[in-house]
Structures are given as C-alpha cells and as structure tokens.
Amino acid sequence: MTKDIATPGRTREILEKYGFSFKKSLGQNFLIDTNILRRIVDFAELSNDTGVIEIGPGIGALTEQLARRAKKVVAFEIDQRLLPILADTLSPYANVRIIHQDVLKADIQRVIDKELPEVSDIMVVANLPYYVTTPIIMKLLEDHLPIRGIVVMLQKEVADRISAQPGTKDYGSLSIAIQYYTEAETVMTVPRTVFMPQPNVDSAVIRLTKREKPAADVVDESFFFQVVRASFSQRRKTILNNLTSQLPNGKQRKETIERVLAELQLDPRRRGETLTLAEFAALSNRLMDVFNEKA
C-alpha cells in the first residue's frame, strides 16, 4: 500500500516538492492526521458500490482514504496550482476523477450523470473550506441531488448552529434550513493541532442524513424560508415585530399577521428561536393562504 499523504512529514515533502504556498483566501488547511481521516470515512459508511463527491481535495489526503473504500471519487478543486500535485499524489488510484471547477457554479447533477452512472449510492464527503461552508451545503440540498447524505468537516461553531435545537442560542435559520432537508448530528470534534497550517478555530465533523421527504409539509418552500429568515432577522425582537418589519408589505399586514398568530395559538411576544420547525411550517402555510386571499 502506498504511504499515507496525511502525515506531517509527507505533507511537508509534497508542499516543498511543488513549492506550494497556502492561500488564505481559499481557506486552505490540510489535515495531517490519518486516524481522523479514517474516522471521517467511517462515518460516511461507504461500500464498494458508493460514489463519493468531494469538495476541496487539497493535496489528496482525504481523497486517498475515500478511494480505498469507494467505487469512485469525484473531487471538485478550484485551485489550479493543486492539479499537478493531485495528479501525482493520487496516481495510484484509478478510481479518482478531479474536476477543476468551483462547486458553487457547477451543475452537480450533470457531473453525477456523467461520472457516477453505475453506482447505487452517493455520499458527499469533504473537509470544507470554512469561508464557503454554508453556501456549499445549501446548494447540495437545494439542488435535490440523489445523495444519501453529507459528512463534512467544518468550523465547530457552524456545526453547533446546524445541529442546534429550538430555544438555544445557536438555533437559527441555518439550523432550520438544514434540518428541514436532513437529520443532522455532530459526530466528532477535531482540534486545530491536526491541520497545516493551524486554523484559529476548532473544527467538527457533521453527518447529514437526507430525509426521504422534508421534515414538514410546506406549501411554498421559498416563502417558508423567507418567514424563517424574517423571524430571526433581529434575534432580540419578537416574532410579530420581525415579521411586520421584514415580510413584504408587513407593516400594512400587521393585523393579518397578528390574526394568523392568534389562530395558530402562537404568542406574538415569542422570539423566533423558540419556534419549532413544525410551527414555522404551519405559520408560513397559513400566512401564504391569507396573503393570497387578500391579493
């Protein structure tokens, strides 16, 4: 078996060979602990019939571990300087395909159709660049891709927000958006010492298992998310204040909003962070009905 990429010595050797310097703007922090990488792969529960989508492979440390257990790995890398390094480090693995593209601009469904037509199971596994974690996860979910789930390393603070429950300080529109599509759990925390260079934050690995259908019945998803974002726009304000100040024509519709809250037995003095996903679904569905009646 080839020598693991994810050791401090081998990582340094690869970086020196190619004269590679880290770009802060791309959030590059490479993992140098093979045990942690193997545990990340364990959490993804891969089989030899799994296709994996990876984002930001770096010098291939996680890619290598994935390639040893999956049928095929398709990795998106935005930094052109890493392409020759990946061609070298991953040369022992015929089941890896590197795509030089920004995943946020990619048509991932097309890539799946082209690169993973023969797999029956697809997982996303990645050590995500921290500055674009949320947009990447939301794109993966909103594109309604045929994936079983997502296992990603991200900033611990973001992981806490994703898996937060109502009534906690971390609970917000991000928690609701992701829990609407998936079951979210933080499976591991990761110290900053296992990265090169060391980030100034701690990390966590989160596993998102896609729900067969969303967590609540919502008439209009975009309006549901609009109501959720409005409710959290100023955390100290009540739900009534936030909805009237943030929803389109909210001030003119204040009485209507009050009536809907009363109808659903939601105290207008509650704050957004105390409402459950199901309560938000009921609220957005009813507001949608009433606003359409008045239109």
Q: Where in the chain is the domain with CATH 1.10.8.100?
A: 221-294
**Is 60 labelled as part of a ligand binding site?**
no
What is the architecture of the domain spanning 221-294? Answer: Orthogonal Bundle (1.10)
> What single string gives the DSSP state of each residue in 130-199?
GGGHHHHHHHHHHTT-S-SEEEEEEEHHHHHHHT--TTSTT-SHHHHHHHHHEEEEEEEEE-GGGEESPP
pLDDT at site 197: 86
**Is 29 labelled as part of a ligand binding site?**
yes
Q: What are 178-205's pLDDT values in tens digits?
A: 999 999 999 999 999 999 888 888 999 9
**Is 116 labelled as part of a ligand binding site?**
no
Q: What are 124-171's pLDDT values in tens digits?
A: 999 988 888 999 999 999 999 999 999 999 999 999 999 999 999 999
Rounded to 5, what percent of the chain is helix, strand, coil? 45, 20, 35
**Is 56 labelled as part of a ligand binding site?**
yes
Are 244 and 250 a contacting pair, CB within 8 Å? yes
The reported pTM is 0.92
**Is 127 labelled as part of a ligand binding site?**
yes
**Is 200 labelled as part of a ligand binding site?**
no
Residue 26 has pLDDT above 90, yes or no: no
Q: Where in the chain is the domain with CATH 3.40.50.150?
A: 8-210
Strand 149-155 to strand 203-210: parallel, antiparallel, or no bridges (unpaired)?
Answer: antiparallel
Residue 295 has pLDDT above 60, yes or no: no
The amino acid occupying position 292 is N
> What CATH superfamily classification does 8-210 receive?
Vaccinia Virus protein VP39 (3.40.50.150)
